[in-house]
Amino acid sequence: MRNSVRGQVDPFIVMDVMEAARLAEESGRHVIHMEVGQPSVGAPKGAREALAAALAQPLGYTVALGLPELRRGIAGLYRRWYGVDLDPARVVVTAGSSGAFILAFSALFDAGDRVALGEPGYPSYRQILRAMSVEPVGMQTRPENRYQPVLSDIPEGVQGVILASPGNPSGTMLGRAELAALASAATARGAALVSDEIYHGLSYGERAVTALEVTDEVVVVNSFSKFFGMTGWRVGWMVVPEGMIRTVERLAQNLFICPPHASQVAALAALGCEDEARANLAVYAENRRMMLDRLPGIGLSRIAPPDGAFYVYADVSDLTRDSRALAAEILEHAGVAVTPGLDFDPVRGAGTLRFSYARSSEDVAEGLDRLARFMSRR
């Protein structure tokens, strides 16, 4: 069977690590999961109860852009969190943030366009762009800039710029002035701006700034997966400029018909469960404290302390030139699943690892104990 060239994207390595961990567990081993950014808490109680009640009624197609009441609810979140008065018509509910990226990139870019993205960064940006015959252009960010791009990193001749704050895998954030400057630079170059804000609500000092506070000429992507703990429900959203609404609507109608109705019902209820979701932040904060306290003593000190999300990104180039092999060794001998940096940075990722602390504090403490024993024997 013929295969397209654009379909030959790289694997999402963290998913391969998850499968290796699953096989280890299937054989009877106990694995501590530090590989995937999946909250252990699950969806808020109110979301689960709302869906259970809704199952008595038929669930079918919704309008392509999502339930109007959910779009209004998301607009209300922007008023509460950021003081942004957002027209709900600009809110598009999607099948997870992945669905939002597919819609955004389809609406913004043509085959052959070039799009700049920070490295290290979320790997699926590159792979979705490649599958659309769009060229990803890596911006090699630096530890001294906390793995966030600065103005000089933006290349000339690009049609788009993707920013992420808090970033994955670094967890570092852009301040308002930095975000405004990058947005202005993208506009000056005639480049579309996409802001990945999926980890908003998960920060440990100053709150994250949404790009909508500094410009309306931006596509903002977010999701119920992280703050609300709803990874498997596959429901996200995007905010688009007014002039893009109909384009995105036509794409959504044809590519997805609509987001899952059941997940939208749960997501609407989750918006009323912010206190429950915010309580989980205290667990992540304690996990972050443990990670930052103990990793240097274990021998993993070359990190940029995260401002948000639930990751620590470590430079391990003094230990290995093959992070994938090191991750496999850690899983085999320590029973801890971690993610090789190759997922996030094709240039320098062979010398980095990402550690997730999204699980319970007991799991994180046990994982750190196992890592310490592994490193002492290595």
Select from 66, 38, 45, 98 the least CA-distant residue to 262: 66
Would you state the pLDDT for residue 38? Answer: 85
Enter the tokens of residue 376: 């002492």
Question: Is 45-273 the same fold as 13-42+275-377?
Answer: yes
Residue 26: predicted pLDDT: 93
What totals of helices (H) and strands (E) does the chain contain, helices first?
Answer: 11, 12
3-state SS class at 283: helix
Residue-level pLDDT at 142: 94
- pLDDT of 89: 98
Architecture of domain 13-42+275-377: 3-Layer(aba) Sandwich (3.40)
Render each residue's pLDDT in the chain as its tens digit; 378 residues: 888 988 888 878 888 888 988 998 999 999 999 998 888 888 999 999 999 999 988 899 999 999 999 999 999 999 999 999 999 999 999 999 999 999 999 999 999 999 999 999 999 999 999 999 999 999 999 999 999 999 999 999 999 999 999 999 999 999 999 999 999 999 999 999 999 999 999 999 999 999 999 999 999 999 999 999 999 999 999 999 999 999 999 999 999 999 999 999 999 999 999 999 999 999 999 999 999 999 999 999 999 889 999 999 999 999 999 999 999 999 999 999 999 999 899 999 999 999 999 999 999 999 999 999 999 987
| Extents of the domains making up the chain | 13-42+275-377, 45-273
Q: Look at residues 259, 235, 273, 230 and name the one whose alpha carbon lies nearest to residue 42.
A: 230
Determine phi and psi for 41, rounding to 5 degrees. Answer: -80, -25
Domain 45-273 - what CATH class? alpha beta
How does DSSP classify residue 288? H
Neighbours of 231 (CB within 10 A): 18
